[in-house]
Amino acid sequence: MKKLFVTGGAGFIGSAFVRLVLAEIPGCEVVNFDALTYAGNLDNLEGVDEGRHRFVRGDICDREAVLAALEEGTEAVVNFAAESHVDRSIASADEFLRTNILGTQVLLDAARSRSVRRFVQISTDEVMGSLPDDDDAYFTEASPFEPNSPYSASKAAAEHLCRAAHQTHGLDTVITRCGNNYGPRQFPEKFLPLIISNAMRGEPLPLYGDGRYTRDWIYVEDHCRAILMVLQKGRSGAAYNIGARNERRNLEVAEAVLGKLGKPLSLIRHVKDRPGHDRRYAIDPAKVESELGWRPRETWESGLEKTVRWYAENGVWVERTRSGAYRDYYERQYGAEKSLESEV
């Protein structure tokens, strides 16, 4: 692999993927195309090999900008760029439809016109909706689409557009669907970095509803290794579910974080629930395991240990991301909840 076009590479997972590619594929160059929305952070790319990494600030909905940055000879487009936070999509869906749907179509068209060999769409298990609690049902690649939030509906639409580009135009597309990622450099509006940074400051940990919602957690670098394998060896037109067989309830996650930081369980607060909150996500990763031989390297214990340590050792990053526009959002999201707080 000589040249990749990565979108959203200043975000949490995209920046981890850029780091992985530059570290593990000698000679591979990366064009990193990112609009730098509130979630894009150039601090996430500190220390990458600038000789093989070119950052271009641009919007994936801007056809001319994409075509200008996407050079002939590019082997693959890997599309991480997205509006990614469910709560924001509930507050306002417009940007989700624009970036996640229209932007994906612009990239598909551009990939075709530049004769890019492969298009990798980073999707989510959330397109498959919610599983029953305490059940042994899992999401497989054959599970029906039942998205429940504007975010997941927009990601489902993007998958359909990839399929259409494959079926109609013969574009080589592959799709990855993973669960909740955790690890360094995740914007602290998402649950795990939010509760880690709150716990470090001795502030309450807001848990939506009864806190017994289940997510299937995967360490970000394990996810990125799976994406790389799908990019290199995945079957054209296929989708791959990627999960580390690591289901945890939110309460259990909060207790683990407090335990690691030596903070009291009394910091846990139950706040008003998210509307349409998906109860449980659980991924069956048998296909990516058997077809591509992928396995996660981190256990939940080792991954959480690394993650908590990273946030503890990178206070400057945490403070910079928690300041400014993020504070306004934080107040809107949780300001009204103060009266609903109750101790566990």
Which stretches of the chain bind ligand NAD, using CB under 6 A?
7-8, 10-14, 34-37, 39-40, 59-61, 80-84, 99, 103, 122, 124, 155, 178, 180-181, 187
Residue 213 interface partner, choices ligand NAD, ligand TYD, none, CB cut-off 5-8 Å depending on type: ligand TYD
The answer to the question of residue 321 lying near ligand TYD (CB under 6 A) is no
> Catalytic: 219?
no
104, interface contact from ligand TYD, ligand NAD, none, CB < 5-8 Å by kind: none
125 as an active site residue: the answer is yes
Is the separation of the CB atoms in 112 and 44 below 8 Å? no
| Residue 44: how many other CB atoms lie within 10 Å | 24
Quick one: CA dihedral 72, 37, 320, 214, positive or negative?
A: negative
User: Is there a catalytic annotation at residue 151?
Assistant: yes
Residue 244: which of ligand NAD, ligand TYD, none does it interact with, CB under 5 to 8 A by kind?
none
Q: Which of 125, 221, 278, 298 is catalytic?
A: 125
Partner from ligand TYD, ligand NAD, none binding residue 243, C-beta < 5-8 Å depending on class: none
Q: Give me the half-sphere count of Cα atoms (radius 13 Å) on the Cβ side of residue 290.
A: 4
When the beta carbons of 53 and 85 are compared against ligand TYD, the nearer one is 85
- CB closer to ligand TYD, 126 vs 298: 126
Q: Which stretch binds ligand TYD (CB under 6 A): 165-173, 187-195, 225-233, 294-302?
A: 187-195
Contact with ligand TYD (CB under 6 A) among 206, 234, 285, 296: 206
Please name the helix (run of DSSP H) or strand (run of DSSP E) that holds residue 19, with its range, or none.
helix 12-24
Give backbone dihedrals phi and psi of 232, rounded to 5 degrees, phi first: -85, -35
Q: Compare residues 190 and 322 and give the one whose CB is closer to ligand TYD.
A: 190
Residue 166 interacting with ligand TYD (CB under 6 A): no
Residue with tokens 């359909």: 160
What is the number of other CB atoms lying within 10 angstroms of the CB of residue 109?
A: 17
Rounded-to-integer distance, Cα 339 and Cα 344, Å:
15
Q: Are 255 and 265 in contact (CB under 8 A)?
A: yes
Distance CA 234, CA 176 (A): 10
Question: C-alpha angle with apex 264: 262 to 270, nearest 5 degrees?
Answer: 130
Q: Looking at 29, 34, 83, 151, which residue is catalytic?
A: 151
> 11 vs 204, which CB is nearer to ligand NAD?
11
Largest Cα–Cα distance in the chain? Answer: 58
In whole angstroms, give the CA distance from residue 18 to residue 306: 19
CA distance 121 to 106: 13
Q: Is 198 in the site for ligand TYD (CB under 6 A)?
A: no
**Applying CB under 6 A, what is the total number of residues that bind ligand TYD?**
12
Q: Which residues bind ligand TYD (CB under 6 A)?
A: 86, 180, 190-191, 194, 206-208, 213, 215, 250, 274
Catalytic residues: 125-126, 151
